[in-house]
């Protein structure tokens, strides 16, 4: 597969007090990517303002989304977005959905959300106001209109329907997120269910997917196998199990895009401890 890596060293969507470590994480991964196949999105230095959206640092998040979309529009091959916080996936998945729609009117993009968290809060339900906990809900039409439609025309900007989403490895949902998952009928596969990669493939087949976007928040991995995440949750996926699931999906479905997010090493030097695991994930995505 011909891939282009789009590095987005954003931190503004994170709710962590150590959010700027995400810059070091993105740069560490970038250092091991082929330079000729890598593009870098320029991220604003400032935190940004909420602009009465209920999303902290919204002005910067919106600017990052627009800049990411511009780079993706010019990127050849299949884009692999490297964050930064999970907020980078708003532009990446919107781009993937548009590519799928242009390819065929019968295309049906499914999104596998490998993440310890569902990221399904709205600005009203979020306990933190951090966009990385709202990004998937924004793609489902529950985000600020100003993000989905910067022109101000008032579109809700629905990119995905609930039936197009599979939550894989999620194990820490807020009450409002759990209620939404139940009401919307979103498929969920617990880490134990992913021990057999066929379970994920079967869920995607049942969704009617013709192609897939794979989102990987590194906190989906069990904390015993990765250090550089800001919101670790116990009982996660072993790296080998995650890699096997990715490969099983890729063997069955075309990959329209992917994202790897939330790498936040304690120091730039500490990044080396987690890079072998991250590069195994990169390899599974592109080979």
Mark 242-252 as b/e (b = at least 16 C-beta within 10 Å): bbbbbebbbeb
For the chain, the average pLDDT equals 96
pLDDT at residue 176 in the model: 98
pLDDT at residue 31 in the model: 98
Neighbours of 145 (CB within 10 A): 15
Q: Which residues have CB under 8 Å from 157's CB, separation 6+?
A: 138, 141, 143, 145, 147, 148, 149
> For 229-248, what is each residue's pLDDT tens digit?
999 999 999 999 999 999 99
Q: What is the mean pLDDT of residues 88-110?
A: 96
pLDDT level of residue 152 (50, 70, 90 thresholds)? very low
Q: Where are the beta strands (DSSP E) in 136-179?
A: 165-168
As a whole number of angstroms, the distance between CA 256 and CA 207 comes to 16
CB 230 within 8 A of CB 133: no
pLDDT level of residue 96 (50, 70, 90 thresholds)? very high
Q: Does position 60 have pLDDT exceeding 90, yes or no?
A: yes
pLDDT at residue 157 in the model: 73
What share of the chain in percent tops pLDDT 70? Answer: 97
Q: What is the mean pLDDT of residues 201-206?
A: 98
pLDDT level of residue 154 (50, 70, 90 thresholds)? very low
As a whole number of angstroms, the distance between CA 70 and CA 121 comes to 27
pLDDT level of residue 145 (50, 70, 90 thresholds)? confident
pLDDT level of residue 150 (50, 70, 90 thresholds)? low
pLDDT level of residue 148 (50, 70, 90 thresholds)? confident
Q: What is the mean pLDDT of residues 73-90?
A: 97
């Amino acid at each position: 597969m011909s891939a282009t890596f789009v590095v987005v060293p954003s931190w503004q969507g994170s709710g962590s007090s150590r959010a700027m470590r995400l810059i070091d994480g993105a740069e560490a991964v970038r250092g091991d990517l082929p330079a000729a196949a890598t593009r870098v999105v320029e991220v604003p230095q400032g935190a940004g303002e909420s602009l009465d959206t209920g999303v902290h640092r919204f002005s910067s998040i919106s600017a990052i989304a627009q800049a990411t979309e511009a780079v993706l529009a010019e990127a050849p091959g299949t884009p692999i977005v490297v964050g930064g916080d999970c907020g980078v996936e708003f532009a990446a998945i919107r781009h993937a959905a548009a590519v799928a729609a242009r390819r065929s009117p019968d295309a049906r993009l499914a999104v596998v959300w490998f993440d310890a968290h569902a990221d399904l809060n709205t600005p009203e339900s979020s306990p933190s106001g951090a966009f990385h906990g709202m990004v998937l809900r924004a793609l489902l039409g529950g985000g600020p209109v100003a993000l989905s439609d910067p022109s101000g025309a008032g579109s809700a900007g629905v990119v995905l329907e609930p039936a197009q989403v599979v939550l894989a490895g999620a194990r820490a949902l807020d009450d409002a997120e759990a209620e939404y998952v139940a009401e919307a009928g979103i498929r969920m596969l617990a880490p134990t269910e992913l021990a057999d990669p066929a379970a994920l493939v079967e869920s995607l087949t049942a969704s009617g997917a013709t192609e897939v976007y794979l989102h990987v928040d590194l906190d989906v991995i069990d904390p015993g196998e990765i250090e550089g995440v800001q919101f670790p949750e116990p009982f996660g996926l072993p790296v080998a199990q995650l890699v096997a699931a990715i490969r099983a999906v890729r063997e069955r479905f075309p990959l329209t895009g992917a994202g790897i997010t939330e790498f936040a090493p304690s120091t730039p030097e500490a990044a080396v401890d987690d890079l072998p695991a991250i590069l195994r994930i990169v390899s599974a995505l592109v080979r």
